[in-house]
Amino acid sequence: MSEHAVVTPEAASASPRRKRRWLRALGWTALGLVSLAALLYAFGGMWVRTPEMRAAYDAMVARGEQPKLPARIVVPIPGCVCHSDDPVLQAQHARRRIRECSSCH
């Protein structure tokens, strides 16, 4: 009996199993990324650039120059920041979700 007779069948059965585990991990990762993307598309949105911008809009609301915007669930997407200099535009856009961008732009 050679050593090969013992080692070879074991190696032959371990390899596909390891490949399956790999594929399953890849599948779950892909599924996770796709659901995260779908969630951000549905509920994700932009940040207001600075707290000062937010305060500027709040001050306009207090003076009665702008309507108070209704609260909405918008998940801030990391890095997705509105670059406008207009606090009104920023305040409005921070309430919008990625799904809605294409309806105006």
Where do contacts with ligand HEC occur on this chain (CB under 6 A)?
A: 45-46, 83-84, 89, 93, 96, 98, 100-101, 103-105
Nearer to ligand HEC among residue 17 and residue 83 (C-beta): 83
Q: How far is the CB of 62 from ligand HEC (least distance, A)?
A: 23
According to DSSP, residue 96 is labeled -
Nearer to ligand HEC among residue 25 and residue 86 (C-beta): 86
Q: How far is the CB of 100 from ligand HEC (least distance, A)?
A: 4
Bridge partners of residue 44, in order along the sequence: 75
Show the tokens assigned to 45.
């949105």
Burial 43-62 (b: 16+ CB within 10 A, else e): ebbbbbbeeebbebbeebee
